[in-house]
Structure 1
Amino acid sequence: MKMIKRVAMSITALVFIGSSVFAQSLADAKKAIDAEQYQKAKTMLKNLTVTQPTNDENFFYLGWVYIKQDYTDSAKTAFNKGIAANPKSALNYAGLGAVARLEKDKAGATSNFNQALILAGKDTKPYRYVGESYLLPVPPATVVTQADADAAIAVLEKGKVVNPKVKDAELMVALGDAYISQLKSNDAYRNYSDALGADPKSLTAHVKEGVLWRLANNWESAANEFKAALAIDPNFGPAYREWAETDLRQSKNDMKVASEKVKEAVEHYRKYLSLTDMSLESQLRYADFLYNAGDFKTLQETTAALSKYANTNLRVYRYLAYSALENKDYAAGLSAINKWLSQAGPNRIYPTDYLVLGRLQLASGDSTGIANLRKAYSLDTTKADVFLEIAKSDYAKKKYLAAANDYQEYFDKSHKGGVLDHFYQANGYYYGFLYPAPGTKPDSTLLTKADSGYSYVNQKLGKPNASAVQYRAYIADLRDADRNNIKGLAKPYYEQYIALVTAKPTLTTADKADLAAAYVYLARIYEYKDKDEAKTLEAYTKAKEYDPTNAAVVAYFSRKPGAKSAK
């Protein structure tokens, strides 16, 4: 990842580069938007709203840039100004609908979209932007829902036929995007091809076809489409960005070319950045790339540098928090995530943000992190793995019964759970019995749950596990409560444990200590239950071989000074 780091070092000092000379036509501004040169487009459009204050489209495209940059308040202001300039501006009503959707105002979105389409007449552009608005994921969602995709497809299909004389390539591209959001590749390809039929020089259509091929892991066809776009316009940055993403995906799918493709991805991303105006949106896309590339060190360096600039986009702090967690820089991560959560507003916060907060807190020794992990699950029930994290945290803090219950939540809600997870749950029940909460009595039902858990482990493994057998011996011994009438319930388990451990090629110090304890148990059964002095001596002798310092062994041979070790 050294190449990635060099890119980061070269760009973080150039966050907000502006240009004093921009073409002042709306067409040039739209071209800049397509090229993801958002700062340039914004400057041009602000000038146009001053020099052409009665042109409502200037205000709409300015508002659309703000939506692209995640500034919904500024977008709403621009759209309202567009309607003030022209009360029948269909585009600006479409824009207000987009803002309402992002603010989770479903009624407002529907009302504004309907008004936009009423005013649209035979103009296909309002249909396109209503469709694109439905394709904007509404936080905390990060993908387009089936219902929103269907709504987008419905309105875009209407837009295709509202004016038979017009073949709107941009609308067809949007329709392809709607289909691809639901992985309907054939429908997406048909619409991208139709777009190229309507406009063979459509840069966006070529790039989108390349993305479609990437999703099919057809690297050559994807690259050919990016090259086709660059043959038309060598300075079309998004082609290089998507090419970089394709290289990165290929590197993860084919280890033989991984190093080569990561290097190529960096070169393509560097080219992309050089062709943008280095706007914050470009930087955030680069942050996406670093996150996906797994270069969290560079991601933290990059976002830390971006955070020092005034009026930086708050999303920088989300990336900073995520990367700091991976880099174990918990203090920096907590500072960043708390800033994001306190200032971003509820509509921009994802469940993963609470997941990261919880992990940072737990790693810092703050037990309130558990509540935030649970909150992440309450917002997104696909994140049931948080209960495994909670269980491990409680177990490490010796909150055994809580950990056992956490493991059960994990099993119930994730429908997963490995053998080791079940083993630790059984341990939680066992130690929960041994160490009850202050002021409470031991709950014998916990022993039953623990024993069932160890039995389950052995069943899943298909053969007895020494540790699980050992714990079942402990439990059986605890159930043999009447010391005046010992039944020897643990005897078969200890015998099985001894057979399993002595079969190991080498024994650890811990193994030897545990074997001595097992033989001591057997010795006591022989001595006090069976009244068999010979077997008692034999068992204590075996215990002494494994651990001569065992207190019970020392005591036995002290009170039986004439006893000779059994041969």
Structure 2
Amino acid sequence: MKLISKVAYAAAGLVFIGSSVFAQSLADAKKAIDAEQYQKAKSILKNLTTTQPTKDENFFYLGWVYTIQDYADSAKAVFNQGIAANPKSALNFAGLGVVAHVDKDNAGTASNFDKAISFAAKDSKPYLYMGKGYLLLSGGKTTVAAADANAAIAILNKGLVVNPKDADINIALGDAYRSQLKSSDAYKYYSDATNLNPQSAVANVAIGVLWKYANNFEDAEKQFQKALSIDPNFGPAYREWAETDLRWALTDPKMASEKVKQAADQYRKYLSLTDMSIESRMRYADFLIQAGDYKTLQTEAAALSASANSNLRVYRYLGYSAYENGDYPAGLTAMNKWISQAGEKRIIPRDYLYLGRLQMKSGQDSLGIQSLQKAYQLDTTQADVFNEIAKSYYAKKKYLEAGDAYRRYISKTRQAKLQDYLNEGISYYYAYDEKNPKADTTLLTKSDSAFAHIEQTATTPIAAVALYRAYVNDTKDRDRQNIKGYAKPFYEKYIQIVTTKGPTDSDKKSLASAYAYLGTYYQFKEKDDAKATENFTKAREFDPANKQAVAFFAKKGK
């Protein structure tokens, strides 16, 4: 059973009971946004845009909710309505700039941000949301690019000049630095935010998240508790607490059982405090991916896909979970739908990774390899794709391609194991066609180099490596009448390793081949009949049917 399954089971039975009476102020809408109660926030804001149609702020915050929910087109339409209400609305121009950034429209981003700044005057909020826009993890991104973080820091610092006492800008600056693993800088700005606004649940949760990533779990929990003492209904504190408990469980096996149970409790509380919108449930789906509970993810994704208001992104979850659960046809259908309909801007490298895996499991190897290579092109940290490609080629007996793929994997990753070098060496060895007079002898050199690396790195001698080095060098020395002895030291090393540990039945034929080679060497190279007879005798003892030994003794009449 996977570690997180208890979380899934506990959350699966949740029934959300929400209030049908919503407050109608902009302040309440902002509070709902911070609490990730997006449906509630949209309900309030849609009402406000109708009852107060001249207030551009109402339109901005509605558009902002659409933006963070990854509905860029809806956000853009609402921001434009805000500009229609106030042609000098700095906030709504900031919103349009954020949408342009999400759409990777650099010119549109710059143009709209310039307008926002020109209309902002002494209002720091447009700077805040421009900065937050650079930090958005839209479209399934999991990390903030350094360039985006730096852009966020630059614009947020301009906002601090406008209003040095804006706690929200300090929080956003902390987020920007945290995204780049600059913990000291992040802590400084989070602390400044709590000094400016001691009642900020958001700032206290942010400090807790900082401690979470430092594996300081006790202090992280204290921060979440502090946030909840400020606002007992602040759902994100429970969500981050759940994710902290999960990280704790995965980090410390002794605490695993207790922390998994606590993670279940915290996530259940989080879900109960949200509006159980599609977006909240997709956040839960992301949590299940992090937890590795793909069985529950598949069930949850199927339920989400049945909803009339389902987000297309649910097909990503269906594809991932179906692959992990071995339901390849369903997974391939889901991933094809997601990638064909989502649009390039919403696709992440991991999508191509799963598409490629599903294609290969479905017999579409060439397409699968293309998809895996696409995943690597989009994210060069995904070097594992070459390992998967190599395994596919090897299974199809395309040994040259397999060797090249293993070689590329080893050169691109820091995670290469000795087994990967062994696979590379074997692939190149089988790729060499000794019957072809024009065969590429560099394949033997590459093969031997891979095996030699293992010999130099391994802490103890490995019989299989010595044997393959012998095979490679034996292949170079096929003229038995003019034998050079290239393979001699490797066969001798193989014999030494195996006889020291004690040969098994599975070793016997290989031992026979090794002794037969040595017999041939002494017969033709050294002209030492006694030594030749001694080695052929051992070869015959281990394998009476060994052809070289049989031929040697036939000539001698024995």
| Same structural fold, with TM-score higher than 0.5 when normalized by the shorter chain | yes
Counterpart pick for 1:305 among 279, 303, 306: 303
- Give the aligned residue type for 2:540: K
Is this contact kept in 1: 2:480–2:520, CA < 8 A?
Answer: no
Check the 8 A contact 2:205/2:240 in 1, yes or no.
yes
The equivalent residue for 1:348 is 346
3-state SS in 2 of match to 1:382: coil
Asked if 1:6 is matched to 2:5, the reply is no
Residue of structure 2 equivalent to 1:419: 418
2:452 maps to which residue? Answer: 455
Work out the CA distance in 1 between the residues paired with 2:402 and 2:224. 52
TM-superposed CA distance for 1:113, in Å, is 1.0
Residue 360 in structure 1 maps to residue 358 in structure 2? yes
Distance 2:285 2:412 in 1: 33
> Residue type of the partner of 1:159?
G
Distance, in Å, in 2 between the alignment partners of 1:302 and 1:67 is 24
2: CA distance between counterparts of 1:295 and 1:314? 21
- Report matched runs for 1:49-448 at 5 Å: 49-137=49-137, 141-163=141-163, 167-367=165-365, 368-414=367-413, 417-434=416-433, 441-448=438-445
Match of 1:26 in 2: 26
Shift of the 549–287 alpha-carbon distance from structure 1 to 2, 3 Å rule, reads same
The one-letter amino acid paired with 1:261 is K
Q: Is the 8 A contact 1:8 1:302 kept in 2?
A: no
- Cα deviation, residue 531, structure 1: 5.7
Q: Give the residue type in structure 1 aligned to 2:315.
A: Y
Show the counterpart of 2:496. 499
Structure 1 match to 2:504: 508
TM-aligned CA deviation for residue 106 of structure 1: 0.9
**Partner SS for 1:355:** helix
Tell me the TM-score normalized by structure 1: 0.90
Structure 1 residues 125 and 474: alpha-carbon distance in aligned structure 2, compared to 1, 3 A threshold? closer
Deviation at 1:128, TM superposition (A): 1.4
In structure 2, distance between residues paired with 1:472 and 1:213: 51
Return the alpha-carbon distance in structure 2 between the equivalents of residues 362 and 237 of structure 1. 41
Assess, with a 3 A threshold, how the Cα gap between structure 1 residues 456 and 206 changes in structure 2: closer, same or farther.
closer
1:54 is aligned with what amino acid?
T
Shift of 1:4: 2.1
Change (3 A) 1:51 1:324: same
Encode CA deviations 1:462-514: one digit per residue, 9 max, x unaligned.
Answer: 66533233233333333334344344443443333222222223x33220111
Paired position in structure 2 for 1:521 = 517
Q: Distance in 2 between matches of 1:187 and 1:20?
A: 42
Distance verdict in 2 for CA 1:152–1:27, change over 3 Å: same
Name the SS of the counterpart of 2:36 in structure 1. coil
Q: Which amino acid aligns with 1:136?
A: L
Asked whether the equivalents of residues 104 and 138 of structure 1 are also in contact (C-alpha less than 8 Å), the reply is: no
Q: Residues 101 and 138 of structure 1 are in contact (CA less than 8 Å); yes or no, is this contact kept in structure 2?
A: no
Amino acid aligned to 2:470: A
Distance 1:494 1:178, change over 3 A: closer
Query: Residue 151 and residue 499 in structure 1: after superposition, are their counterparts in 2 closer, same or farther (change >3 A)?
Result: closer
Deviations along 1:245-291, one digit per CA (max 9) or x if unpaired, are 22122222222211111110110110111111101121112112222
Pick which of 389-398 and 407-416 moved more: 407-416
Question: In structure 1, the residue corresponding to 2:482 is in which secondary structure?
Answer: coil
Distance 1:489 1:177, change over 3 A: closer
For 2:110 and 2:178, the matched residues in 1 are separated by 24
Contact 1:18 1:40 in 2 (8 A): no
RMSD: 2.6
Q: Which amino acid aligns with 1:207?
A: V
Equivalent residue number for residue 474 of structure 2: 477
Aligned to 2:546: 550
Q: Write the letter of the residue equivalent to 1:446.
A: L
For residues 81-123 of structure 1, give each alpha carbon's deviation from its aligned partner in whole angstroms, at most 9, with x where no partner exists. 1111111111110100000000011111111111112111112
Q: Which amino acid aligns with 1:424?
A: N
Give how far 1:558 is off.
5.9
The structure-2 alpha-carbon separation of the partners of 1:450 and 1:247, relative to structure 1 and needing over 3 Å to count, comes to: closer
Distance 1:121 1:448, change over 3 A: closer
Residues 288 and 297 in structure 2, CA contact (< 8 A), matched pair in contact too: yes
The 2-side partners of 1:163 and 1:460 are apart by 59
Does 2:25 match 1:35?
no
Cα-to-partner distance string for 1:357-388 (whole Å, 9 max, x where unaligned): 11222233321211111111111112223222
What code does the residue aligned with 1:460 have? Answer: T
Quote how far apart the aligned CAs of 1:72 are: 0.3
- Does the 8 Å contact 1:54/1:86 carry over to 2? yes
What secondary structure, in the 3-state scheme, does the structure 2 residue paired with 1:503 have?
helix
Paired letter, 1:394: Y
Q: C-alpha separation between the residues in 2 aligned to 1:57 and 1:98?
A: 16
Residue ranges of structure 1 left out of the alignment (5+ in a row) = none
Q: Deviations over 1:46-100 (max 9, x none)?
A: 2222222222111111111101111001100110111111111111101000000
Deviations 1:306-358 (A, max 9, x none): 11212311222222222222222222221222121111111111111111111
> Any idea what the Cα deviations from partners look like across 1:443-462, whole Å, max 9, x if unmatched?
23322332333333322236
Instruction: Provide the rounded CA distance (Å) in 1 between the counterparts of 2:414 and 2:199.
Output: 50
Count of matched residue positions in the alignment of Structure 1 and Structure 2: 554
Does the aligned pair in 2 maintain the 1:149–1:181 contact within 8 Å? Answer: yes
Q: Sort the Cα spacing of 1:81 and 1:503 in 2 relative to 1 into closer, same or farther, 3 A.
A: same
- Report the Cα distance in structure 2 between the residues aligned to 1:316 and 1:379, rounded to whole angstroms: 22
Please state how far the C-alpha of 1:415 moved relative to its aligned partner.
5.5
Q: 1:440 to 1:369 in 2, by over 3 A?
A: farther
* Deviation larger for 195-204 or 109-118: 195-204
AA matched with 1:95: G
In structure 1, distance between residues paired with 2:330 and 2:61: 37
SS at match of 1:434: coil
Question: Aligned to 2:501, what secondary structure does the other structure show?
Answer: coil
